[in-house]
Amino acid sequence: MNFCLSKCRNLHITCLPLPYKTKNMGLKDEIILININGADRPGVTAALTEILAKNNAVILDIGQADIHNNLSLGILFQSCGGNSGDILKELLFKSYELDVNIRFNPITEEEYTKWVNMQGKNRYIITILGRMLTAKQIAGVTRIVADQGMNIDDIKRLTGRIPLDENSRTPKASVEFSVRGTPRDKELMKAEFMKLSSEQVMDISFQEESMYRRMRRLICFDMDSTLIETEVIDELAIRAGVGDQVKAITESAMRGEIDFSESFRQRCALLKGLDVSVMQDIAENLPITEGVDRLMRILKKVGFKIAILSGGFTYFGNYLKQKYNIDYVYANELEVVDGKLTGRHIGDIVDGKRKAELLRLIAQVENVDIRQTVAVGDGANDLPMISIAGLGIAFHAKPKVKATAKQSISTIGLDGILYFLGYKDSYLEEQM
């Protein structure tokens, strides 16, 4: 016997043929999916779930979203004692009272079992970042996901609500997709994301969902051209009158064209005779990268340990340490004699290999699993630590570094890292 809902057109329902079963008919329990949408107001979810509670229904799954005060609610439930017909009628009339649309869909045991068996299977998080996000950008990402045979489970906006006045908008936008399935070709998928990000001027992060992603505890930064928008050795070289020579060596090293340690020795030698007093002036006028103040404040608030692992110099790393309450600084020490730089350094050079060693060491000291770590840098000498970290990010990096790193940020400031970590602006604003 069919219970047809089409007679109730004024009740905002979608007509689907459903078995009409009552307790007296002695039929088995049913699994039913209901979808409700309409204007959101306090009490809608409570009123509908109270009907299920009164009829001893078992809720198997529930999800709700609100977009511009419009509710979209889904509830998957199992009737108890074959009383699904009674439940549906009550829900139907209650939806009329609440002035919301309701749709019923029966689910077979086979369909439900298949859905349950998908639990925990290959989940990924895709995060997109940009100064602004357009329909074309989102369409490009979702098309790549669909072509790989993956399904989107959830979409949420991480940045704040967007005002119509363009002058009032924050200069960043981020959306996160939770997707499920096994990519047909993961390397091709990543290549397509990289191509799309270049064409559409946005950043795309593709991460495997895991407990470690939600429990990052240690973050290690390069300093020059990452936390600050300059290479300190170039600033020193300008004061020493050898700016062009040092800058050329720096750029070649960052591109990976020459060995970092050798380039470091060459550049230090050119600084011989520079008065050490210029270092304070440079430190006090360092150009801090966009987003650093906000990022550091939030990272400390949520309990991160923060380290600077730099091929630059300890003097400037310590200046940033005091400014942002950073926990660790490892960089290079310049030799000073009679108030002048000698053109030599003291101790081992902090190169790419050393950065990776220090990341592992700090993680061990802090009792943090390497999968809970984050590493951020822009140069070729940052790749070793970026490659071993749980989340490695190339920030406004050289092409070789960006192509090698798993994640990259090129369109917004350093606080874009917060979105790769899954934080929402609305949550952060409440906590700050």
**Helix/strand/coil (H/E/C) assignment for every residue in 28-67:** CCCEEEEEEEEECCCCHHHHHHHHHHHCCCEEEEEEEEEE
SS3 305: strand
Q: Which amino acid is at 3?
A: F
Length of the chain equals 432
Catalytic-residue membership of 222: yes
The span from the CA of 320 to the CA of 195, in Å, is 35
Which residues lie below 8 Å from residue 238, measured CB to CB, with a gap of 6+?
A: none
Which of 40, 86, 203, 222 does the annotation list as catalytic? 222
Q: Which amino acid is at 142?
A: T
The span from the CA of 144 to the CA of 177, in Å, is 13
Which residues make beta-bridge pairs with 70? 39, 67
HSE-up of residue 127 (Cα within 13 Å, Cβ side): 23
The span from the CA of 152 to the CA of 203, in Å, is 19
- Alpha-helical runs (H) found in 25-82: 44-54
Catalytic-residue membership of 224: yes
**Based on the number of CB atoms within 10 Å of its own CB, is 30 exposed (0-12), middle (13-18) or buried (19 or more)?**
buried
**Using an 8 Å Cβ cutoff, are 398 and 379 in contact?**
yes
Residues designated as active site:
222, 224
